[in-house]
Amino acid sequence: MNIATITPFIILLIVLLFNTIKILNEYERAVVFRLGRFTGVRGPGLIVLIPGLEKMSRVDLRTVTMDIPSQDIISKDNVTLKVNGVVYFRVNDPEKSIIAVEDYLLATAQISQTTLRSVIGQFELDEILSTREKINHRLQTILDEQTEPWGIKVSAVEVKAIDLPVEMQRAMAKQAEAERDKRAKVISAEGELQASVKLAQAAEILGKQKNAIVLRYLDTMKEISTGGGKSTTFFPLPVDFLSNIMNKNS
């Protein structure tokens, strides 16, 4: 038999084998249709399709990391923000992901952007900056409910960056500086109060103990005479002596 004669048959056989035998990885599944009707989900491993009658759509079951582009959002207190985020999801039901939605990746991306704008717009600026975990959980809950009919499981949503207008950044910087000054003054006032209380207690004790006043006086003279690197001589006078002089003058 001539080789040229059998070559078309060999090529046809190779094409049939290529379209019949499929190998799926562990993280892949095949949604199979026979004459346009769904017949089942197959894989992983080697699967065989009926040539001309069966077709398949390959579905990846691994977690997908999808960025949410920066969105212009107006907060509840009318502050314009730019917010972006990231969504982590995976296909939980291969059949629904192919039959229930045309393109589950595009659909998830679009619904994520819409939900981000909707949820962030329900909070005031201070809440957005301070309760990010609460916002992330709310986004994840809403997206998971909306994508469940498509066979998608949203495992996490994170708000990545919140960009504020320059005027708002300056106002917040001034507010933070004023708050720091306020705290510094409060701490200083509390220190003065504690010091005055201690001084009052010390004065009360020294007023009751005459000998304590003399000892304190001598200790102070010692510190003065040994300070500064020079030799200084003091002749301490009794405290009663000074008191008697002041009483005579009066």
pLDDT band, very low/low/confident/very high, at 4 (cuts 50, 70, 90): low
207-234 pLDDT, tens digit each = 666 666 666 666 666 666 665 555 555 5
Q: What is the pLDDT of residue 61?
A: 96
Where are the strands (E) in the chain, listed by range? 21-24, 28-34, 37-42, 45-48, 54-60, 64-74, 80-91, 152-163
Is the domain of 112 the same as that of 143? yes
**How do residues 142-163 score in pLDDT, each as one tens digit?**
999 999 999 999 999 999 988 8
* Residue 185 pLDDT greater than 60, yes or no: yes
Q: Is the pLDDT of residue 245 over 80?
A: no
Structural domain contains residue 212: yes
Q: Do residues 87 and 158 share a domain?
A: yes
In a domain, 178, yes or no: no
- Note down the domain range covering 213: 198-250
Q: Domain tally for the chain?
A: 3
Is residue 151 domain-resident?
yes
Sign of CA dihedral 102, 105, 111, 114: negative
Predicted TM-score (pTM) of the model is 0.66
- Mean pLDDT for all residues in the chain: 81
Tell whether 208 is covered by a domain: yes
Is 81 found in the same domain as 26?
A: no
Say if 106 falls within a structural domain: yes
Position 236 pLDDT exceeds 60: no
